[in-house]
Each structure stands twice: as structure tokens, then as C-alpha cells.
Structure 1
Amino acid sequence: MKKICSIILLAFSVFSFAENPADYSFFNSDKTIKVEFNLTPKKTPYYKVFFKNKLVINTSELGIVREDGNFYNNMKIVKVSEAKAVQSSYNMLQGKRKKINYAANQYTVSLQNSTGEVMEIIFQISHDGVALRYHFPKTSSDIKKITEEKTTYNFDAAAKAWLQPMSKAKTGWKETNPSYEEHYSMGVPVNTKPVIGEGWVYPALFNANDAWVLIAETGLQENYCGSRLVYNDSSKALQVTFPQKEEIFPNGALNPESQLPWYTPWRIITIGSLKTITESTLGTDLADPAIPMDTSFIKSGLSSWSWVLLKDDSVNFETTLQFIDYASSMNWPYCLIDADWDTRIGDAKMKELVAHAKEKNVKLLVWYNSSGSWNSTEYHPKSKLLSHADRDKEFSRLQEMGIAGVKVDFFGGDGQSMIAYYHAMLKDAAAHQLLVNFHGATLPRGLQRTYPNLLTTEAVKGQEYITFFQDIADLQASHCAMLPFARNAFDPMDFTPMVLDSIPNIKRKTTPAFELALPVLFLSGIQHIAETPVGMVKMPKYVVDYLKDIPTNWDDSKFIDGYPGKYIVMARKKDNVWHIVGINGENKAKEIEIDLSFVTNDSGYIILENEKGFQQLPISKRTKLKVIMKPNGGFVVKM
């Protein structure tokens, strides 16, 4: 009898183990990152993330709720694949690195919900992080709608966060929010509630159990909305959350909707040191590859821009002529003409400007208002890009006129229909060989890989705000020292940097050397330089000469030193020349020591500052470079 009972108990234990096996473990190739996966007692999928055997992300739930089905609880694991090696190579026309190789181990978990419908969760674990997304493999012509995504990130209570608040939709100047234009809360507990009350935007940076973690999303297609992070008090975790109800194209959809099969965007978790965070390319590694298009017209570089310091009255024929000549004298390929150019200058005079610019080897970029009825902005041209027919007509006119690209402003948020608007505009611009710069816009989320004609996007509290508000200028140094670790880690950022001289009616708190470092520190396919011709002529010749050769399409990037919001030193390489820049985000002097053995050339120079202003000194790779950055100061090196 005892023997029979033992057999029954053994059989029961085997059955129980089969229903609730030990956690599945997924690894990257060098075993530094591990993901554990299983189901909770409520049969909800969950995962945990370890870095170098330390728990970094605690038990965090996964799942999707569709209108026609629950793929969140009462789930059953059907199959877990073995590791599959995935790799790709691609080139970027702008950004921190030109030639990029991506390799990861892919694991696919197949699950069934209570009605037998299948959902897969795909994990890809690379040397620098974890990516995951959902896949509905069934084929259906019906439109499926997702009402909630249950992906969470559960950090230990001791973890610290560096987060940018999401703004309240339909607030701000002329109801233009949200535009990803807030200052970061730095080093705060992960359960901190944002003052605005709408959660946090990507990328979100965390320090947990001696590891740095950057959370973002990429591969956002037309059928999905952009998301944000909101702390869920019930699960004690940050949850992926869909947009506010106002964030839509007029009469368009808010939440994701698509036929099947359907892949959702990638949730990406970069893990390691600050060097890992700043050098990673996960944001483009998992983005959709470039659409078929002629890229011969795409050229990155610097641009002159009158409006940022001189405002509306500078948008006229005579001032634009000056800024075209200014760009030409600086060897910059572009000049941007801002709002109301269609009436302040007009088509006839615009054609004259295009012809003059061509003689000077400069191309013109022009501003557009993207909005229809979703805000009350009055700047124009307005409402000329709302449909494919509108864009085809307007872009054809610009192409015929000889305009190189458009700066499109005042978008309406992250709803699915608004994200589809971004995609449609980029496709139509590519068809007419126009470069694109989005302002008053959402985070690009890797769109610059999919559409190489997207050279930059604002989505930052940049120079424009500094010119309007003293309190924003007061925070510039720490804000700029934060951006390379989060907002600008993956996606191009049109901060519109660098005022070397002065800002009307504003007391600038950063030093000229701090400002000089920004065009190299920040990544953007086009850098719209804020400094004017009047300010530039006051600078030493060696500063002007330095600014005549600033690349924006780097071959490589290297993190030297730094801490979010306090300081950063980055090195970027173009051909055989290294540009090394540093900024001090704090109001106290900081000494940095740099080992120059990695650079190609034996000698070069540094531009920094003393009590008299700018100073240029020769340097050699054979000795370590010691730099004292002034409070809110900086430096640049070229060698």
C-alpha cells in the first residue's frame, strides 16, 4: 500500500512540475544578462532581469488586453523555444556610429489564453540589453484593437530614477502639449509621482543594484500608439501606458489597432554601465530597417537659423540673405527659414533666395505648421500637410522650387492616428527628396533608421525655451548634462545649440566653452546653430575655424566619463579625427583626466577657457590630458 501511495505521489509531483516548472532562463551570449520567465499563480506571464548575477528588475508582469480577448491572465505556456542566434548589420547616415552590428539570442514563448487564442512573447538578449515584444501569429482580416498593455518594470525600492514628466495634453502655449519638453527629475525614487500627473516619457534611466538601466521603445509602426510609463500602485511597478484621450489626429484612433498577424513595438532595456548606456545602439538595432528609397539627396551638417535669437521679425528677405552668406562663410550646408516665410518673404523672393543660396553652396530648409484643429496655433504655412494629396501638392512645389527640407512643428501627441501621421509625412517627403525635422513632436523611437530622411526631432526643452525664460536658462547646465544619458541616447535631438555671445534679455548661466561643446556632444543629423553672424565675428579665429568642420554623421562614439545631470565627457570619431568634448553641469569647478591613447593622431589642440575667455593649447596623445572645467563650463578637443 505504501508503495502504491508513493507511486501516486511521485506521479502527482511530476504532473505538478509539468504544470508549474521552474523559471525558464534566457541568456545573452556572454551570460552577463539573464532573463527568467514564468507564470504567476494567476497565470500571468512575468519576467525578471539579472545583470552579472544581480537582480536588476524584479518580478514584472507582461500581457496584452484586446477588445476581443484577454492575453494577460489565465494564460498557459504552450512552448518555449531554444536560443536562436539573430544578427544584423546596417549603416546609419547620422548618429553616434556609422556601421553597426547587432547580435542577440532570441527566445520565443508561445502562450494560449482561456479561449485557446495564441500570443507569443519574443525576447532578444544582446550584450547590452533585453528587448521584448508581443506577436499575434493568427491570420485575420478583422481589425483587432488593443485596449491595454500590461508590460511593467518593477524595480527595488532602493533604485533611483532619472525621469522626464509627460505633459498634460492640450495645455501649454496654444494647447500644443505634449511635446516632450520638460526638465528631468533626477535621482528620485522609482515610485515618485510627477507633479504634472501624467507619468513619464522615454527614455527613462534607472540605477538599480549597481547597474544602469535605460528603458525605451522602438519599432513603432503606423498601427500602434506611442506609450509612456505610469507607476501602478497596485503592482508597485512602472507600467507601459497608452496616451491621453486628446492625443489623436482629428477623428482618428487613440489606441493600437491592426489586422493579424501583428507584431507590437519593441520594449528595450539597456543594461550595464553608463558607458553601455551612452554607446548602445539598441534604439536603432530593433527599429524597422530603412524603406526602399534614394538616399543620394541626404546630407547631414550644420545650419544657420535667424529665428531662435532674433525671433519673428528676422524672417524676411534681407536677414535671410545675411544668414545664407553666414552659413556659406562657415562651410555649413544649410540655412533654416522659420514660420510665416510664405507671407513675410513670398514665393517670388523665395526663388531668389534659393538661387542665391545655390551660388553660395547652401541649401534652404523651410518651416511648416503640421496642425489642423488640434491646437490654436496661428503660425503658417498651416494645414497644408494634413492628407496625402495635400502633402503631394505642397512637397512637389517645394521640390520644384529647390527647397532641401522641411521643419514641421506642433504635432498632437502619441495616439495611433498621430503616429500614422508621422509615418505618412516621412514617406511623402522621401518621395519628393525632402529632409525632415520634426518640432513640437514626440520622441522618434528609431524612425531615423526606417526613414533616413528624418535628420532630427526636437522633443526636448532646448535653446528656444532658454531664450524666453530665465528660470529655464538657470537650469541649462544640469539639463544638458542629463540629455546624453536619456533623451539623446538613441534618437537625434534638435536642441538648436550654442550661443557663444549673448541671448537678448536673458543672463546665460553657461560659459562659452560649455556652449562650444554642444554641437559635438548632442547627436542630430542637422545642428541648427543658434549663434548669429554678429556674435560669431566676436569669437577668436581658432573658434570660428573649429566650427567650420563639425561632423554630424560620426563613425564611432566613446564615453569617457560623466554622471547624469552633473557632467559628461564624450569622444566622437570622423575618419581619422577624434573630437572630445566635455561639459560641467554643476556650479563648481571639476577636474577631468583623459587618457588619449585611443586617438589616431599624435597631436592636436584643446579649446577651453581661463579668466580672460577662450584659450587654445596644443596637446599630445603621449601624455594624459588634465582639464579643469569651470563651473557650468566645458571644453573641446580635436586631434
Structure 2
Amino acid sequence: MKKYYYAKRPAIMWAVIALCNWVPAMAQQASQVSSPDRSITLKVWLSKGQLQYNVFRQQAEVLQPSLLGLSTSAGNFATQLQWVSVSKPILVQEAYSMVNAKKQNISYSANEIKIVVKNQQQQSMHVVFRVSNDGVAFRYLLPWIHSSTTIEQEHTTYALSSTAKGWLQPMSVAKTGWEHCHPSYEEKYMMGIAAGTPSPMAGWVYPALFQTGHNWLLITETDMDGRYCGTRLNNDSGKAVYKVTYPDPREVFTNQGHLPQYSSNMQSPWRILTIGSLATITQSTLGTDLAPAAAKNDYSFVQPGKASWSWINSKDDFIVYYEQKKYIDYAAQMNWKYCLIDADWDTKIGYEKVQELARYAATKNVGLLLWYNSAGDWNTVKYHPKGLLLTKESRKKEFARLQAMGIKGIKIDFFGGDGQSMMQYYIDILEDAAAYKLLINFHGATLPRGWHKTFPHLMTAEAIYGMEMVTFEQSAADNQPAHCTVIPFTRNAFDPMDFTPMNLYKLTHSKSIRRTSGAFELALSVLFLSGIQHYAENPDGMRQVPVFVQQFLQQLPNHWEDVRLLQGFPGKEVVMARKSGNKWYIAGINGEANAKSWALNLQQFGKTKASIITDVENGQLFAQQTVTVGKTPHTISVKGYGGFVMVLE
């Protein structure tokens, strides 16, 4: 449970804070509040009837004067506003735990204020701001709503310096792509582009990463309860001002709405700005800090783990009984918890034989996961089972059947949209699946936006230009090394991601030639976060790699307790450390063609021995060495598009 309270500090200290952090609503109609460590300062004011704000870190302006406001069917809150009040700052704190995130035990602390303004009709709009040591969050509240009201437009902007640069993924146009399945957050990142560069498609997706001066800024949203729509960013050509915009009207559940609808208690999702160094970005938990806590249900069935998966290499023709049995054996051999059976299993194998496979898998301590089509008229995808999840009655019937069969979870594909009704569909699935103890993987889907905290059985979601694209197109394979170095700072910064990584030997049933080395691929098993990690290596390929690589994957933890960024720059390289138990795992990848060396301070981890797996000359095999941790930095050399993993104990 979250606790909100005034911090217990001496009166004189609160007097200083009040003078330094909070400007009361007098003639200036303005306020400001700083983070607990005073490194970040937010300023809010009313100017010519418009509510505006900006943000500073260590006295450098990170966000220039930007706009706040809403337009609704019942009243306008963008112009001709009047200042009403600002609350005194309070300290908000929460401590919580997760098993599907970058950290296990998490503490959140922020100073909060609430600004109240009113429009010409004397209706009030509240804006709640929180400033933490790693960023700023805010949301809108309209407490007077008591009948159906539509939020027609949000006027939130993020104004950046004209010299800022962005690492951004374009939002695809609704109803385009294969079988009209877009949008699904599966476009290539544009890296290091000038702020204000127009999107080649329909705006930009979250999280959006910017470098401005010496600071980095990651923009996203969280606390999506199904009443609001998912949003994205857009900007006028050549202007470094990004506006929160709503989805295309076609991005909806069948014949339902795309705009936010409220009959009472209107509150928007949190708008989040993570601010600091790249280490701040990778170590921040703001994406879950602002998400609601899970209901007090029994979530003991939520078990993170690894999964075997035949489709990524052998595609549609091998969704057959004996191939899936082979992959169950493969998962058992690798000490992985799950095996995923993909599309058309209902006819190519059948429910009865799948139940037989589930029973067989249980004897091997492996749980089965099954694929489903989200269905509806938003795409023309023919894969099945299709149409079984569209209504609550049908969902519950199917989920009960799966639970009786011993199925552990489902992968649901091809959603195609961020409209309010589609966001509600995601929530409905999550709520119903929990009752039947089914784990969930959303594929061809939206960004999860902190849902894995509120619904711990949401293990992962795609929303990324992932490994399957590498198997489809040589251009994706060529782009993969740089692409993978952007993801820890963007898409995978807060939410679990079903990239389906790690092809160690070679791609099969694909015309693409992989550019990354084997050790680069192995490093992705540590770098990328997913509650269930579906690996893109098949049993034959695993037999080609050394036993010490197999053992590394057999012993790799299923969840992490802490994280540190050791080296990195999006599009170029990432070296990251993750903790589990009494061990630290370090993984590094080189996104560029030139060889590199990294001098790593290993003494900070308090360990004496390091086991390292690297590439050898041809990039497809592996070498292992054990070194003693000394007082001087240890140098790791990697080839172009290469990588390494290290275990410290």
C-alpha cells in the first residue's frame, strides 16, 4: 500500500524547504518544488491564461517552458485559466517488491505538490506533480465529473533545446503492415536525430530518449487503467516541441471508442520524465514506481523463467506434436521452466494431444504456453485459435479449459491499437487470466506501461522490432547490433520485453545472415529483461556450442535483484551488471563494426573471481577464462559486433 505523509522534520527545516521549494499562489501565480536531494527542480506558473512548466537538473534547463492542459466535452482547460491554489509539498514514499523487473526490492521517494486552476465556467483542473531524485511525474484530475465526459485532447508538451538529439521509434500508421496489423511498436529506431525531426510515420512511441546538454531525458507514461487511451508523441516539422497526442480513431476494439471516457473520478495516466545520466535511465524504476500496486490476490503461480520455442527457427510447418515434444525435452535439458507452442496448434495438434503434451511436460518440470489470436475486425490475420477471447463469457470458458489442461500461460497476438477500448481489452484479459492462474504474454501489442506491477502475471510483451524481424529481413539483421544497444535505454528501461533473443549458432529457415557474434547473442540473455525469456536457439544449434555455454544458460537466474550500468551509449555499446543472490552477472555488446576494449572496475562488486565467456576469432565459437579480480580495472576486448558475459562470485 502506498503511504503519503508529511516527512517528520524539524520545524526550521520545513521553513527552509518552504522558502526554497515552494512559492505560494500570490501575485506571481507560480510554484516550484525540488527533488529530495535537490538535484531536480520543477517550476509551474500561469502565463496569459495558460498553465506552463519547465524542469532543471543541477541548474541546467532540461525542459524548456512547456504547456499543460486538457480539452473535454464539458469544458476547456487549455486557455483562459485562473490560478486557484497550490498545496504545500509533501513527501511521498513507497517500498515494494517485484520478480519481473530490473530490481527486486524498490524504494520510491518524491516531493509532491498539487496545482489547482479553473476555467471560465469555474470548473477546476488539478495537476499533481511529483519530483524524485531521478525525474518528474505529473497527472491531471477533474474531480467535478459526475456524468459521461470525453477527454477530447491533451495539450501536454515537452519543449526541448534545438540542439537536443533523440533516439526515437516511429509510430506506424494504423491498419497498415502485414494483414493490417499495425500499429504494434515494431519499427526501427532513428538514432541520434536532431530534436524536431519529423516522424516518417504517425508520431513517436514511448519511451522516447533525448540527450540535451549533459543530461539525458526519457519520456513515457504509466498507470493505464483502461479508461484512458494510450498516447504517443508528435511534433511540428523542425520544432523541438513534442506534444502528447491520441491514437488514430481506427485503433479500437470492434465498434468501440478511442478517446478517454469518464463518468467520475477522472485521472489521467502519469506522464514521466526520467532525468539524469544514462546510468540514471537504466537504473531508474519510475515506470513502476508510479504504477498502482497489485491487488492482494494469490500470485504464487507467477514464476519467471526461460522458454524453448520452435517457431522462431522452424516457423509454421513445425507446429506439430513430435516437434513440440522435442522442444519440451530441450527445455528440460536446459533447466528452463517453459515451452511455447505457437499458432494453429488447435488444428495441427489439437486440444486433446496438447493436453497430452502438457502432462508429459509436467513430468519434466516444464510448463506449456499456448498462442492465441486476439481476433476482432482490426486485422485480417488468419492464424488461430481466433475469436475465443473477445467476450468475457468466452474468455472465462477458454481459460477454465486451459487451467484444467494444465496450461501455464498464453501468448496473445495482433492487437493493433492504443484506443481507449483496446486498452480496456488488455485490462479485461489480464483481470480474467488472473482468476485462472494463467501467465500472459502480449505480442503484436502496445507498450505495457507498468502493467507488470499491477498485474504480476503479465510476464512480457513484444512491442519491439525483435529477433523475428532478423529472421525475415537482411536489413533487420544488418541493423541488429546497433538496435540492441538502444533498447536498454528505451523500450526495455522499465517494462519486460519479448524480443526473443539469443541465436547462438546460426539462423535456420531464414534467408538472413546474422551479423552479431555468438558472444553478442549470449550477452542478450543478461541484458534484456523479460519475465519469460523465449530463446531463439534450437536444440541442434545448442548442441554446437561448448558445454560451458550450455551450463551458463542452465544456471542463469530467472529474475534479477539489482542493476548497474558500467559503460554505454545508445547505438554504440552497452555493458551492464545484474545481481542475483551472491553473484553479479556482467554482459556487454558492441553495436559497431570496429573492435573495442573496455576497462571495467570489477572491485566495486566485492568479489574475488570472474568467469568470462568471449568470442574467438571467427565470431561463431566461444572461449572461456577465469581471472582473479584485482585492484586495477580489468580490460575486456571485443570484436566488431561482438560481446561477452561474465560471472562474478
TM-score by length of structure 2 reads 0.94
Instruction: Give the distance between the partners of 1:95 and 1:71, measured in 2 at CA.
Output: 37
User: 2: distance between equivalents of 1:462 and 1:108?
Assistant: 40
SS where residue 202 of structure 1 aligns?
coil
In structure 1, the residue matched to 2:627 is 619
From 136, 152, 161, give the equivalent of 1:130: 136
Match of 2:272 in 1: 268
Q: Tell me the residue number matched to 1:170.
A: 175
Equivalent in the alignment of 2:560:
554
**Equivalence for 1:526:** 532
Measured in 1, the distance between the counterparts of 2:373 and 2:587 equals 35
Q: Compute the displacement of 1:233 (Å).
A: 5.7
Checking the alignment, whether the CA contact within 8 Å between 2:198 and 2:237 is kept in structure 1 is no
In the TM superposition, residue 90 of structure 1 has moved relative to its aligned partner by 0.7
Q: Does the CA-based 8 Å contact 1:371-1:412 persist in structure 2?
A: no
Alignment of 1:55-74 (within 5 A): 55-74=61-80
Are the aligned partners of 1:577 and 1:600 in contact in 2 as well (CA < 8 Å)? no
In structure 2, give the amino acid aligned to 1:28. Answer: S
Q: Deviations over 1:498-535 (max 9, x none)?
A: 11111132211000000000011001001001100000
Mapped partners of 1:607, 1:583: distance in 2: 12
The Cα offsets for residues 121-172 of structure 1, whole Å up to 9 and x where unpaired, read as: 11000000000000112251x1111000000000010111111000000000
Partner of 1:7: none
Please list, as runs of the form range in 1=range in 2, the aligned pairs for 1:230-309 lying within 5 A after superposition.
230-232=234-236, 237-309=241-313
Q: Note if 1:507 corresponds to 2:536.
A: no
The one-letter code matched in structure 2 to 1:339 is: A
Secondary structure of the 1:260 match is: coil
Is the aligned partner of 1:498 residue 2:506? no
Gaps of 5+ in 2: 1-23
Aligned to 2:476: 472
- Pick from 109, 116, 119: which aligns with 1:110? 116
Unaligned regions of 5+ residues in structure 1, if any? Answer: 1-16
Verify the 8 A CA contact 1:566 1:584 in the aligned structure 2: yes
Query: Which of 139, 143, 146 is the aligned partner of 2:148?
Result: 143
Equivalent in the alignment of 1:25: 32
Q: Does the Cα contact within 8 Å between 2:195 and 2:240 map onto a contact in 1?
A: no
Give the aligned partner of residue 542 of structure 1: 548
Between the two proteins, the alignment pairs up a number of residues equal to 620
Matches within 5 A, 1:425-440: 425-440=429-444
CA contact (8 A) 1:302 1:550 kept: no
Partner of 2:522: 516
Q: Is the 8 A contact 1:199 1:228 kept in 2?
A: yes
- Secondary structure at the residue paired with 1:523? coil
**Contact 1:324–1:362 under 8 Å retained in 2:** yes
- Residues 578, 600 of structure 1: 8 Å contact kept: no
Q: 1:489 aligns with which of 483, 486, 493?
A: 493
The residue that corresponds to 1:6 in the other structure is none
Is the 2:145–2:262 Cα contact (8 Å) retained in structure 1? no
Give the Cα–Cα distance (whole angstroms) in 1 for the partners of residues 327 and 240 of structure 2: 53
CA contact (8 A) 2:198 2:238 kept: no
Does residue 1:631 correspond to 2:636, yes or no? Answer: no
Give the residue type in structure 2 aligned to 1:115: Q
Q: CA separation in 1, counterparts of 2:64 and 2:498?
A: 35
1:208-223 counterparts in 2 under 5 A? Answer: 208-223=212-227
Tell me the CA shift for residue 599 of structure 1.
2.1
Native 8 Å contact 1:95 1:552 kept in 2: no
The letter for the 1-side match of 2:172 is S
Residue 48 of structure 1 aligns with which residue? 54
Tell me the alpha carbon deviations over residues 257-293 of structure 1, each in whole angstroms, 9 at most, x when there is no partner. 1122211100000000000000000000001111232
Shift of 1:66: 0.3
1:76 aligns with 2:85: no
For the 8 Å contact 2:25–2:85, the answer to whether it is kept is no
Q: Distance in 1 between matches of 2:73 and 2:152?
A: 6
- Residues of 2 paired with 1:163 and 1:110: CA distance? 33
Distance 2:29 2:59 in 1: 17
Q: Which runs of 4+ in 1 moved over 4 A?
A: 17-20, 233-236
| Structure 2 equivalent of residue 9 of structure 1 | none
Amino acid at match of 1:188: I
Deviations 1:456-476 (A, max 9, x none): 000001011110111111100
In 1, Cα distance between the equivalents of 2:142 and 2:238?
28
Query: TM (normalized to structure 1)?
Result: 0.96
- Equivalence for 2:357: 353
CA RMSD of aligned residues (A): 1.3
